[in-house]
Structure 1
Amino acid sequence: MTFDSDHHTSLSLFEFWPDKIFYTPIVLYWFFMGLRYRDLTISTAANPRIETGGLCGESKSSILDLAGPIAQQVIAPYRVIQNNAQAFEKVLVALDSLEITYPFVLKPDIGCNGTGVKLITSREMLQNVLPLFPTGVTLMVQKLITYPAEIGIFYIRHPDEERGRITSLTYKEAPLLTGDGHSTLKELILQDPRMGQIPQLYLPRIKGRENNILPAGETLSLLFAGNHCKGSIFRNGKQDITPALEERICTIMRDIPDFHFGRIDLKVLSPEALREGRDFQIIEINGVGSEAIHIWDRRTTLAEAYSTQFYHYRQAFLIGAAKKKQGWKSTGLLGTLRSWLKQRRLLASYPTND
């Protein structure tokens, strides 16, 4: 799967604005909604079985662990281990129990934006990577799903609704360098119409290889984890939201108790298979803190991006309020702050993602 050349070579007006600028209106909107409901963290009750509803600090595996038999069938197999002196042996046991081998994915159980996600290709690499994570941190060992396309689907279901709906579908693609036989990797990045505008995202990924020359026609992927802030390219795929896909996603998500709001990241065989609701595997499920990531398609206008953000966060507040009426509790400011500080501390301690 590749993007059209125009899409591949351009940035939107706001794609890489500093967070403090882009998210200020959203934070203000959040406060406005919180004051309206007399609870600034009421949205954390939208997914009440998950820490902070998935706003921050939540364990990835704890969300996947909630899955019933229908959802389990389409979740990429995983195990969790503690990173300590026995971690290497524990990973080997996990691989054995999952009946998988190299390459596989190793990632922090608590994290966001793909920070610390590693593609482990050998025993030697595993031995080298484990010490890069802090001792005591929980890591996920997950089967590598080799389907070619990575997708983010946003799902919302209000508590009084039997069926939910897909509000966003986004394709993710890792940027590729194509060799010409004489340019160095650094030159290829700087010459690229898109990468050349944001070289600070890509140059650290070729550290020590800047002067390597890629043979003519050979390609090099600069990114494994599909995250926009790390340099992945996103494309709005709303045209592929079909009744068949929506029906399948709703059936799966209903099998995760009290999950009402969030983004599902999955790998899929093809857009055709996706439209038919088949041949995909879920690699992660994100809660209240996740975004409808089609806003990072370069064709999305700033007005559309804010409209999308406000719409989704409003839904989170409405659902949180409805769940609170059912007797569930929101996290509260102190609890949310504790989770956010924990996540921030952990993110700072992880190695660079692949």
Structure 2
Amino acid sequence: MLQTVHETSSDGVRTDRETDSREPHPLSLFEFWPGSIFYTPIVLYWIAMGLRYGDFSIPSAANPLIETGGLCGESKSGILDLAGPVARGWIAPYVTIMLRRNRKEGNAERLLAKIDARGLSFPLVVKPDIGCNGTGVKLVERREQLGAVLDSFPLGVRVLAQALARGPVEAGLFYMRDPGDPHGRITSITYKEAPVLHGDGQTSIRDLIARDSRTNLLPDIYLPRLRERLDTVPAPGEAVQLVFTGNHCKGSIFRNGCKDATEALTRRLDEIIGDVSEFHFGRIDVKADSVEALRAGEGFEIIELNGVGSEATHIWDSRTTLWEAYRAQFYHYRQAFRIGALNRARGWKTCGAYTMLRYWRKQRRLLALYPLND
């Protein structure tokens, strides 16, 4: 059965198309391709744009106060620290601490002192200050758990403890704004859903995962995170959330919400991001009270600000075609180069290809040391 679907593309063009109203396949064709395959055309496109602009690191100038523009190796707290008083009012409060080498036993006490001074309460989210794709993100329910969580991180790294945003709707809002222009545009909205299975009083979590049409295709993602509970049998109707972190590659389900890029939400982001020093291009991850509240530009809390290394993540909706995904990727990276070039013309420097490589290697090394995310 065919039905007409109204969509807004990543470049803001509204289109109507007919689509099969039956339930789509749980995974798209390319959703879990190896990165070396999916990203090869994007790397080639980046090289082409670098040759065109005479500098492969032009996008680093799109957000010139962030390391590499936020492409890789940037500090999460460093980006949030760029917020002025208006923007800070929309950001979930946080504190950071450097895990001291050779003084492991004192890290929890030091972080708890900062948490108490900031007026934060548990549960909290603890995550590495330099991270990617949700790696190492941990939900800490009680004070007594904090020491064990910190012990799972390598020493000598900075971690961030943030208030748990309570909104039931998690979304990624991709926003870009030309330098000097008070008005920007939302080019992507993604809704993130943690997969939830429900017990029947007879089936173990392991078998529930095996029976579900989506999770049974991704056992390597879900089973390791639940290894201590796999043989547990949930009660009838009991909800079992399989993952906490709202990242696609960590098991969350992404839905295209581009149609919800309203004028009210855009103007709200103009107000907020206009109070973040020299932030012109990236994704704002939020939790909202409801989709309706988000559309109205109200009732949401910012979790993270991500720079040029972030994606328009609506491409990971299982209904997205490969061509639609690449079109969105090429469009956004083209804009990153364009905005970076505008800032270069204003006198901002690019970081250089060598610095990008150095930060990428640092991030890659750290990611291998972080604990498994929740």
Indicate the TM-score class for this superposition, using the shorter chain for normalisation. Answer: over 0.9
Contact 2:190/2:254 (CA < 8 Å) preserved in 1?
yes
Q: Distance in 2 between matches of 1:68 and 1:211?
A: 49
Question: How far is 1:5 from its partner?
Answer: 9.8
Aligned to 1:344: 364
Aligned to 2:331: 311
Residue type at the aligned position of 1:35: L
Contact 1:94/1:141 (CA < 8 Å) preserved in 2?
no
The one of 84, 109, 114 aligned to 1:89? 109
Q: Is it true that 1:25 corresponds to 2:37 in the alignment?
A: no
Contact 2:107/2:147 (CA < 8 Å) preserved in 1?
no
Aligned to 1:59: 75
Mapping 1:186-225, distance limit 5 Å: 186-225=206-245
The TM-score normalised by the length of structure 2 is 0.92
Contact 1:234/1:294 (CA < 8 Å) preserved in 2?
yes
Mapping 1:100-139, distance limit 5 Å: 100-139=120-159
Partner SS, residue 6 of structure 1: coil
Partner SS, residue 339 of structure 1: helix
Mapping 1:286-297, distance limit 5 Å: 286-297=306-317
Contact 1:295/1:304 (CA < 8 Å) preserved in 2?
yes
Residue type at the aligned position of 1:106: V
Partner SS, residue 324 of structure 2: helix
1:120-172: CA deviations, max 9, x gaps? Answer: 01233212111111111101011111111110000011114221110001100
Q: Is it true that 1:156 corresponds to 2:156 in the alignment?
A: no
Partner SS, residue 308 of structure 1: helix
Q: Distance in 2 between matches of 1:169 and 1:81?
A: 32
Aligned to 2:344: 324
Residue type at the aligned position of 2:340: G
Q: Distance in 2 between matches of 1:69 and 1:119?
A: 27
Partner SS, residue 311 of structure 1: helix
Aligned to 1:35: 51
Partner SS, residue 189 of structure 2: strand
Partner SS, residue 349 of structure 1: coil
The TM-score normalised by the length of structure 1 is 0.97
Partner SS, residue 30 of structure 2: coil
Segments of 4+ moved more than 3 angstroms: 4-7
Residue correspondences, number: 350
Question: How far is 1:42 from its partner?
Answer: 0.8
Q: Distance in 2 between matches of 1:256 and 1:160?
A: 13
Partner SS, residue 298 of structure 2: coil
Contact 1:108/1:140 (CA < 8 Å) preserved in 2?
yes
Contact 1:115/1:353 (CA < 8 Å) preserved in 2?
yes
Deviates more, 1:96-105 or 1:282-291: 96-105
Q: Is it true that 1:281 corresponds to 2:283 in the alignment?
A: no
1:155-198: CA deviations, max 9, x gaps? Answer: 01111422111000110010112101111111000100001111
Q: Distance in 1 between matches of 2:198 and 2:29?
A: 26
Question: How far is 1:282 from its partner?
Answer: 0.3
Question: How far is 1:55 from its partner?
Answer: 0.2
Partner SS, residue 209 of structure 1: coil
Aligned to 1:76: 92
Deviates more, 1:291-300 or 1:206-215: 206-215
> Structure 1 regions of 5+ residues with no counterpart?
none
Aligned to 2:65: 49
Q: Distance in 2 between matches of 1:104 and 1:283?
A: 12
Q: Distance in 2 between matches of 1:271 and 1:321?
A: 35
Q: CA RMSD in A?
A: 1.3
Aligned to 1:255: 275
1:222-244: CA deviations, max 9, x gaps? Answer: 11110000000000111211111
Question: How far is 1:204 from its partner?
Answer: 0.7
Deviates more, 1:19-28 or 1:203-212: 203-212
Aligned to 2:23: 6
Aligned to 1:140: 160
1:55-88: CA deviations, max 9, x gaps? Answer: 0000000000000111000000011101133211
Q: Is it true that 1:232 corresponds to 2:252 in the alignment?
A: yes
